Amino acid sequence: MAEQYMNDPMQEVFIFETSQQLEQMEQSVIKTEALGSYPSETINEIFRIMHTIKSSAAMMLINNMSVVAHTTEDMFYFIREEKPQFIDVSTLSDLVFEGIDFMKSELDKIKNGAEADGNPETLIDKIKAHLKILKENNNLTDSQAVNNEPVTEKYYISSNKAAKISEVKTYQALLQFEEDCGMENIRAFTVVHNLKEITDSFKCTPEDVINDPDCVEIIKRDGFMLQIKTAESQEKLEAFFRTMAFIDQIELTEINELQEIREGLNIVISDEAIMVPQLKNPACEMSPVKESPVANGNHSQSMISVSVEKLDKLMNLVGEMVISEAMVTQNPDLKGLVLENFSKSARQLKKITNELQDMVMSIRMVPLGPTFFKMNRIVRDISKKLGKEMNLKILGEETEVDKNIIEQIGDPLMHIVRNSADHGIEMADTRIRQGKPQTGTITLEAKNAGGEVLIIIRDDGKGLSRDGILKKALENGLVGDEATHMTDTEVFNLIFLPGFSTKEAVTEFSGRGVGMDVVAKNIEAVGGNILVESVEGQGTTITLKIPLTLAIIEGMNIRVGESCYTLPIMSIKESFIPKAQEVFRDTDENEMIMIRGQCYPIMRLKEHYQVKTGATQIEDGILIMLEGETKSTCLFADELLGEQQVVVKTLPKYIRRMKKIEGLAGCTLLGDGNISLILDVNGLITQKRFKN
């Protein structure tokens, strides 16, 4: 147990890196599957990733993962070296996916503190069998057959045997690891560990990478020096190092024996010798091909993952700073003083705090891309399983949304896509009969619309059946006699009611009866809503409207007596000062006003929330017309205080536990340190209706 704790930071890095690599691999495989063939970059990529995972898993003593990676690597080694003509792309992809899934599930187990105990036997047998078939199909059973034996010298001996250099040469390699890759000694150990598969005779500086605590610093500063005696060619060695993770620079030079001895004696190599940035021998220049995988590796390393909790804290702090800044610069003690220098500095401070706030907000924004790409896999699996032909088209994946929201919408999105693929898209023959293209298309699109993001899931399947939904709803008692008068939109919205599922059969992918209601609930939880449009026979479009961020809204502060409230600016249509004679009451004493021929109810916030102070005469205040989802209403307040970006905070737990206050979305801190309550326009309007 103690050992596991010790491993924690290393394990964390391992899990993070490995899952990223698996994700990356999954995406490339899906891409290649669409192409129908494996381009060499993908083969190299998979090979490289599998190789890395094999080593790192072995290092972490997760043998089953290591073995799976190893077998997959073997298969791709064969494909890469022999370039077989006949590859069953879809079976191969299935196998790779199976491998990925296996490793992912093992990773999950480790993450949850369990043992990675999955049994890889069947999977490995499958992969091996497939490799055999591959070989047979491509008449290459001969020399390669022995390669099933793990860990031999087979690496990178290309089929082009002519290139093989038989005499043993000595090379000196200086490896620089990427900055910030962390745990340099472990990386170095991985290199050494893997190098043992190629050659046994090598020396490294620092010598003891695992037990010498100082070596991290040495490697960071001077790089990791290796002297290798091998029969392999320089290119092979270089390619070998390229497959290692986190290597930034490789300097590989051939050295003669004399030099080697000299260097050997002088273990502390002078800085000068190491810092030589260029290769001395022009013949040894790196291969001209700047390998793209390395570039990719760099790219992923320039990102770090930070826990959202920390970001929340940071944002709170910045919010407080903005308030403190206002407290200082608008301090009453400064009133009436002419302070030229002070105002100048204060302006500078304000500018910086504003920029800081924007930056913190932007940190939280992440593109929808990864969430969208996950759907690829779902569509692929369903299409395979059910034998339907369909494509997933992704548009606007660069659209950015607050991290918290992304987490919330992942599951609903998956559900909708599943539904579209499972229930929406028809079988190919049905589609042809209906004159549709044989392959169904599901489009996943994201776009910005003001302060909101629209996520549109469109399929060209059979669409929603009004009658089918109504029948089902009647059976379940979800609607009564009014059903016949319902509009299409109202009917389609029935699918979001709990316990509604039109599909009779429960499939592996969807249709467990808990479905769209959960989707609707999740989307509403982040302040979004769902719109369904559908034409029977032509397809369904589901639009998710979600706010860009939960954390900040553009607000209008209004005053009622001594209290301050904030309205989301999006919901304000207009504001005006009414005249007393424009306002009238109906028999139930409900106040109303006629504006341009339309009659709107008036809601006095003062009365509604029983505020003790504030204007009572209608001409002393202002009316703000609010537009909700279904209805509009006019809110009566004392005055508008101005527009401001406000950081939304939830009401304290104590109050939330006590009662859900309709019409309140949260609260925020104003520049002067006061608290303003944020109004939820839809809640206000509905509540008003109930009260009447």
Partner 1 sequence: MAEEFDEFDELELEEDDETEEGKYLTFNLDNEAYGLEIIYVTEIIGIQKITEVPELPEYVKGIMSLRGQIIPVVDVRLRFGKPSRDYDERTCVIVVEIADITVGLIVDGVAEVVAIPEEEIVPHPDLDETDSQQFVRGIGKVGTAVKLILDCQKLLEDDEMENPSQEA
Taking the least distance from each CB to partner 1, the nearer of 190 and 676 is 676
Taking the least distance from each CB to partner 1, the nearer of 49 and 651 is 651
Taking the least distance from each CB to partner 1, the nearer of 80 and 649 is 649
Helix (H), strand (E) at residue 121: helix 121-137
Q: Going by C-beta distance under 8 Å and a sequence separation of 6 or more, which residues neighbour residue 273?
A: none
Compute the least distance from the CB of residue 650 to partner 1, in Å: 8
Task: Output the DSSP codes for 285-335.
Answer: PPPS---HHHHHHHHHHT-----HHHHHHHHHHHHHHHHHHHHHHT-GGGT
Q: Report the C-alpha dihedral over residues 590, 596, 598, 599, rounded to 10 degrees.
A: 0
Taking the least distance from each CB to partner 1, the nearer of 60 and 651 is 651
Taking the least distance from each CB to partner 1, the nearer of 308 and 317 is 317
Compute the least distance from the CB of residue 570 to partner 1, in Å: 23
Taking the least distance from each CB to partner 1, the nearer of 299 and 657 is 657
Compute the least distance from the CB of residue 352 to partner 1, in Å: 19
Task: Output the DSSP codes for 167-189.
Answer: S-EEEEEEEEEPTT---HHHHHH
Taking the least distance from each CB to partner 1, the nearer of 38 and 609 is 609
Compute the least distance from the CB of residue 642 to partner 1, in Å: 18
Compute the least distance from the CB of residue 684 to partner 1, in Å: 11
Taking the least distance from each CB to partner 1, the nearer of 107 and 323 is 323
252, β-bridge pairs: 173
Helices H, strands E: what count in the chain? 22, 22
Cα–Cα distance measured from residue 249 to residue 286, given in angstroms and rounded to the nearest whole number: 11
Identity of the residue numbered 88:
D
Compute the least distance from the CB of residue 652 to partner 1, in Å: 5
Taking the least distance from each CB to partner 1, the nearer of 594 and 658 is 658
Burial of 457 (0-12, 13-18, 19+ CB in 10 A): buried
The total of other beta-carbon atoms located within 10 Å of residue 611's CB is 17
- Sheet of 675-679: strand order equals 639-647, 552-560, 563-568, 675-679, 664-669
Structural contact between residues 118 and 103, judged by C-beta atoms closer than 8 angstroms: no
Taking the least distance from each CB to partner 1, the nearer of 317 and 506 is 317
Identity of the residue numbered 328:
V
Residues that bind partner 1 (CB under 8 A): 316-317, 319-320, 323, 563-564, 608-611, 649, 651-655, 657-659, 661, 664, 667, 669, 673-677
Map residue 640 onto helix, strand or coil.
strand
DSSP 8-state secondary structure symbol assigned to residue 209: T
Map residue 549 onto helix, strand or coil.
coil
Pairing of strands 598-604, 632-637: parallel
Taking the least distance from each CB to partner 1, the nearer of 500 and 565 is 565
Cα–Cα distance measured from residue 615 to residue 604, given in angstroms and rounded to the nearest whole number: 10
Rama region for 151: left / alpha / beta (φ>0; ψ in -120 to 50; rest) = left
The total of other beta-carbon atoms located within 10 Å of residue 314's CB is 16
Structural contact between residues 255 and 172, judged by C-beta atoms closer than 8 angstroms: yes
Tokens of 369: 């891309």
Taking the least distance from each CB to partner 1, the nearer of 532 and 624 is 624
Compute the least distance from the CB of residue 658 to partner 1, in Å: 5
Compute the least distance from the CB of residue 310 to partner 1, in Å: 16
Compute the least distance from the CB of residue 690 to partner 1, in Å: 13
Task: Output the DSSP codes for 203-272.
Answer: EEESS-TTT-TTHHHHHHHH-EEEEEEESS-HHHHHHHHHHSTTEEEEEEEEE-HHHHHHHHH--S--HH
Q: Going by C-beta distance under 8 Å and a sequence separation of 6 or more, which residues neighbour residue 239?
A: 156
Structural contact between residues 544 and 523, judged by C-beta atoms closer than 8 angstroms: yes
Compute the least distance from the CB of residue 557 to partner 1, in Å: 13
Structural contact between residues 653 and 664, judged by C-beta atoms closer than 8 angstroms: no
Compute the least distance from the CB of residue 591 to partner 1, in Å: 19
Compute the least distance from the CB of residue 87 to partner 1, in Å: 57
Q: Is the dihedral of CA 420, 423, 424, 427 positive or negative?
A: positive
6, β-bridge pairs: none
Tokens of 515: 């479905």
Compute the least distance from the CB of residue 676 to partner 1, in Å: 7
Compute the least distance from the CB of residue 611 to partner 1, in Å: 7
Structural contact between residues 195 and 245, judged by C-beta atoms closer than 8 angstroms: no
Compute the least distance from the CB of residue 661 to partner 1, in Å: 5
Taking the least distance from each CB to partner 1, the nearer of 193 and 660 is 660
Cα–Cα distance measured from residue 377 to residue 33, given in angstroms and rounded to the nearest whole number: 11
Taking the least distance from each CB to partner 1, the nearer of 305 and 331 is 331
Cα–Cα distance measured from residue 392 to residue 274, given in angstroms and rounded to the nearest whole number: 51
Spatial CA neighbour of 683 closest among 658, 671, 665: 665
Taking the least distance from each CB to partner 1, the nearer of 315 and 405 is 315
